[in-house]
Amino acid sequence: MIAQARIGPNAVLQHLPVLDAEIGSALRAALLYRADIIEPAPDAGMLPEEDVVRLHDAVRLFLPDRAARIQRAAGLATGDYILANRIPRVAQRLIRALPAPLGARLLSMAIAKHSWTFAGSGKFRVVSHAPLIFEIKRNPLAQTRADGPVCHWHSAVFERLFAALVWPDVQVTEVSCAATGAPACRFQIGPAQLRA
Protein backbone atom coordinates (compact mmCIF):
# COMPACT_ATOMS: atom_id res chain seq x y z
CA MET A 1 0.00 0.00 0.00
CA ILE A 2 1.34 3.44 -0.96
CA ALA A 3 1.58 5.91 1.92
CA GLN A 4 -0.62 8.98 1.57
CA ALA A 5 1.34 12.20 1.05
CA ARG A 6 1.03 14.64 3.93
CA ILE A 7 1.84 18.31 4.58
CA GLY A 8 2.37 20.11 7.88
CA PRO A 9 -0.78 21.49 9.53
CA ASN A 10 0.41 25.09 9.42
CA ALA A 11 -0.32 25.14 5.68
CA VAL A 12 -3.97 25.18 6.82
CA LEU A 13 -3.94 26.38 10.43
CA GLN A 14 -2.16 29.67 9.69
CA HIS A 15 -4.77 30.49 7.03
CA LEU A 16 -7.61 30.44 9.55
CA PRO A 17 -6.94 33.66 11.51
CA VAL A 18 -6.03 35.43 8.26
CA LEU A 19 -9.30 34.33 6.68
CA ASP A 20 -11.20 35.39 9.81
CA ALA A 21 -9.69 38.86 9.54
CA GLU A 22 -10.35 39.08 5.78
CA ILE A 23 -13.84 37.62 5.46
CA GLY A 24 -15.08 36.78 8.97
CA SER A 25 -15.43 33.46 10.72
CA ALA A 26 -18.82 32.58 9.17
CA LEU A 27 -17.55 32.96 5.59
CA ARG A 28 -14.32 31.20 6.53
CA ALA A 29 -16.40 28.25 7.80
CA ALA A 30 -18.29 28.28 4.49
CA LEU A 31 -15.01 28.29 2.57
CA LEU A 32 -13.76 25.27 4.53
CA TYR A 33 -17.07 23.54 3.84
CA ARG A 34 -16.77 24.27 0.11
CA ALA A 35 -13.17 23.00 0.21
CA ASP A 36 -14.47 19.84 1.93
CA ILE A 37 -12.06 20.02 4.84
CA ILE A 38 -12.67 19.93 8.56
CA GLU A 39 -10.88 22.59 10.59
CA PRO A 40 -7.85 20.84 12.09
CA ALA A 41 -7.23 20.96 15.82
CA PRO A 42 -4.47 23.38 16.92
CA ASP A 43 -2.29 20.36 17.79
CA ALA A 44 -3.06 18.49 14.56
CA GLY A 45 -0.33 16.36 13.11
CA MET A 46 0.55 16.15 9.45
CA LEU A 47 -2.51 16.61 7.23
CA PRO A 48 -3.46 14.71 4.08
CA GLU A 49 -1.98 16.59 1.14
CA GLU A 50 -5.35 16.61 -0.60
CA ASP A 51 -6.91 18.64 2.24
CA VAL A 52 -4.19 21.27 2.06
CA VAL A 53 -4.47 21.46 -1.73
CA ARG A 54 -8.24 21.91 -1.54
CA LEU A 55 -7.92 24.82 0.90
CA HIS A 56 -5.23 26.62 -1.13
CA ASP A 57 -7.24 26.09 -4.33
CA ALA A 58 -10.45 27.31 -2.65
CA VAL A 59 -8.76 30.51 -1.47
CA ARG A 60 -7.59 31.19 -5.03
CA LEU A 61 -10.95 30.26 -6.58
CA PHE A 62 -13.34 32.05 -4.22
CA LEU A 63 -11.15 35.00 -3.19
CA PRO A 64 -9.11 35.68 -6.35
CA ASP A 65 -8.47 39.36 -5.59
CA ARG A 66 -7.29 38.60 -2.05
CA ALA A 67 -5.68 35.19 -2.46
CA ALA A 68 -2.09 36.43 -2.81
CA ARG A 69 -2.42 38.66 0.27
CA ILE A 70 -4.12 35.92 2.33
CA GLN A 71 -1.62 33.25 1.40
CA ARG A 72 1.33 35.57 1.98
CA ALA A 73 0.07 36.44 5.47
CA ALA A 74 -0.48 32.75 6.23
CA GLY A 75 3.05 31.97 4.99
CA LEU A 76 4.61 34.68 7.15
CA ALA A 77 2.69 33.31 10.16
CA THR A 78 3.91 29.81 9.33
CA GLY A 79 7.48 31.12 9.29
CA ASP A 80 6.89 32.72 12.71
CA TYR A 81 5.60 29.39 14.02
CA ILE A 82 8.67 27.56 12.72
CA LEU A 83 11.00 30.11 14.32
CA ALA A 84 9.17 29.89 17.64
CA ASN A 85 8.71 26.12 17.76
CA ARG A 86 10.85 24.18 15.29
CA ILE A 87 14.30 25.74 14.95
CA PRO A 88 16.20 25.54 18.25
CA ARG A 89 17.35 28.89 19.65
CA VAL A 90 21.00 27.77 19.62
CA ALA A 91 20.71 26.93 15.91
CA GLN A 92 19.12 30.32 15.23
CA ARG A 93 21.97 32.10 17.06
CA LEU A 94 24.53 30.09 15.09
CA ILE A 95 22.96 30.90 11.73
CA ARG A 96 22.75 34.62 12.60
CA ALA A 97 26.39 34.67 13.75
CA LEU A 98 27.72 33.19 10.51
CA PRO A 99 28.56 35.28 7.45
CA ALA A 100 25.38 35.49 5.36
CA PRO A 101 26.47 33.04 2.62
CA LEU A 102 27.31 30.39 5.23
CA GLY A 103 24.18 31.11 7.26
CA ALA A 104 22.08 30.82 4.09
CA ARG A 105 23.73 27.50 3.25
CA LEU A 106 23.09 26.11 6.75
CA LEU A 107 19.47 27.26 6.76
CA SER A 108 18.99 25.84 3.25
CA MET A 109 20.30 22.47 4.44
CA ALA A 110 17.80 22.48 7.31
CA ILE A 111 14.95 23.43 5.00
CA ALA A 112 15.91 20.67 2.55
CA LYS A 113 16.07 18.13 5.39
CA HIS A 114 12.52 19.01 6.46
CA SER A 115 11.07 19.68 3.01
CA TRP A 116 8.69 16.75 3.31
CA THR A 117 6.68 18.92 5.74
CA PHE A 118 5.85 21.57 3.11
CA ALA A 119 6.41 19.90 -0.27
CA GLY A 120 4.26 16.82 0.33
CA SER A 121 4.50 14.57 -2.73
CA GLY A 122 6.57 17.23 -4.53
CA LYS A 123 10.34 17.01 -4.78
CA PHE A 124 12.33 19.83 -3.18
CA ARG A 125 15.95 20.63 -3.94
CA VAL A 126 18.42 23.45 -3.61
CA VAL A 127 19.32 24.22 -7.23
CA SER A 128 22.18 26.62 -6.47
CA HIS A 129 23.65 28.67 -3.64
CA ALA A 130 24.87 31.67 -5.65
CA PRO A 131 22.27 32.81 -6.38
CA LEU A 132 20.24 30.80 -3.87
CA ILE A 133 17.48 29.01 -5.75
CA PHE A 134 14.99 26.50 -4.33
CA GLU A 135 12.91 24.23 -6.52
CA ILE A 136 9.78 22.17 -5.92
CA LYS A 137 8.97 19.74 -8.74
CA ARG A 138 5.40 18.47 -8.87
CA ASN A 139 4.45 21.05 -6.24
CA PRO A 140 1.04 19.85 -5.03
CA LEU A 141 0.02 23.41 -4.12
CA ALA A 142 0.58 24.64 -7.68
CA GLN A 143 -1.40 22.10 -9.69
CA THR A 144 -3.88 24.72 -10.85
CA ARG A 145 -3.58 26.88 -13.97
CA ALA A 146 -2.75 30.57 -13.69
CA ASP A 147 -1.26 33.45 -15.64
CA GLY A 148 1.37 34.11 -12.97
CA PRO A 149 3.06 32.43 -10.01
CA VAL A 150 0.71 31.22 -7.26
CA CYS A 151 3.10 30.00 -4.56
CA HIS A 152 2.63 32.98 -2.26
CA TRP A 153 2.50 30.77 0.84
CA HIS A 154 5.81 29.03 0.10
CA SER A 155 7.48 32.32 -0.86
CA ALA A 156 6.37 33.96 2.39
CA VAL A 157 7.58 31.06 4.56
CA PHE A 158 11.02 31.29 2.95
CA GLU A 159 10.96 35.08 3.29
CA ARG A 160 10.22 34.99 7.02
CA LEU A 161 12.92 32.41 7.77
CA PHE A 162 15.65 34.10 5.76
CA ALA A 163 14.70 37.60 6.96
CA ALA A 164 14.90 36.48 10.59
CA LEU A 165 18.11 34.49 10.31
CA VAL A 166 20.20 35.59 7.32
CA TRP A 167 19.21 38.72 5.36
CA PRO A 168 16.87 41.20 7.11
CA ASP A 169 16.16 42.79 3.71
CA VAL A 170 15.61 39.46 1.94
CA GLN A 171 13.71 39.31 -1.31
CA VAL A 172 12.07 36.07 -2.42
CA THR A 173 10.92 35.88 -6.04
CA GLU A 174 9.12 32.94 -7.56
CA VAL A 175 10.90 32.95 -10.91
CA SER A 176 8.92 30.04 -12.36
CA CYS A 177 5.73 28.29 -11.31
CA ALA A 178 4.17 24.99 -12.30
CA ALA A 179 0.78 26.74 -12.39
CA THR A 180 1.96 28.69 -15.45
CA GLY A 181 3.17 25.54 -17.20
CA ALA A 182 6.80 25.64 -15.99
CA PRO A 183 8.43 22.29 -15.19
CA ALA A 184 8.85 23.29 -11.53
CA CYS A 185 8.29 26.07 -9.04
CA ARG A 186 11.54 27.94 -8.45
CA PHE A 187 12.27 30.56 -5.81
CA GLN A 188 15.24 32.92 -5.92
CA ILE A 189 16.27 34.18 -2.48
CA GLY A 190 18.75 36.88 -1.60
CA PRO A 191 19.32 40.31 -0.11
CA ALA A 192 17.24 42.98 -1.82
CA GLN A 193 20.17 45.35 -2.52
CA LEU A 194 21.93 42.66 -4.56
CA ARG A 195 18.75 41.78 -6.45
CA ALA A 196 17.87 45.33 -7.56
CATH value at residue 181: 3.90.1520.10
Count how many domains the chain has: 1
Q: Is residue 149 one of the residues assigned to a domain? A: yes
Query: Is 1 part of a structural domain of the chain?
Result: no
Q: What is the pTM of this model?
A: 0.95
Tell me the residue range of the domain where 148 lies.
Answer: 6-195
How would residue 75 be classed by pLDDT, with cut points 50, 70 and 90? very high
**Domain-located, residue 185:** yes
Residue 166 resides in a domain: yes
pLDDT band at 121 (very low <50, low <70, confident <90, very high): very high
pLDDT beyond 70 at 109: yes
Residue 135 lies in a domain: yes
Outline where DSSP puts E strands in the chain.
6-7, 47-48, 123-129, 132-137, 170-176, 184-191
Q: What is the pLDDT of residues 31-66, one digit of tens each?
A: 999 999 999 999 999 999 999 999 999 999 999 999
Mean pLDDT of the chain: 96
Secondary structure of residue 29 in the 3-state scheme: helix
> What is the distance of C-alpha 172 from the center of its chain?
11
* Residue 94 within any structural domain of the chain: yes
* Span 150-166, pLDDT tens digits: 999 999 999 999 999 99
Residue 16 within any structural domain of the chain: yes
Look at residue 122 and tell me if it is in a domain: yes
Pick from 6, 98, 18, 117: which is nearest to 53 by CA?
6
Q: What is the mean pLDDT of residues 87-116?
A: 97
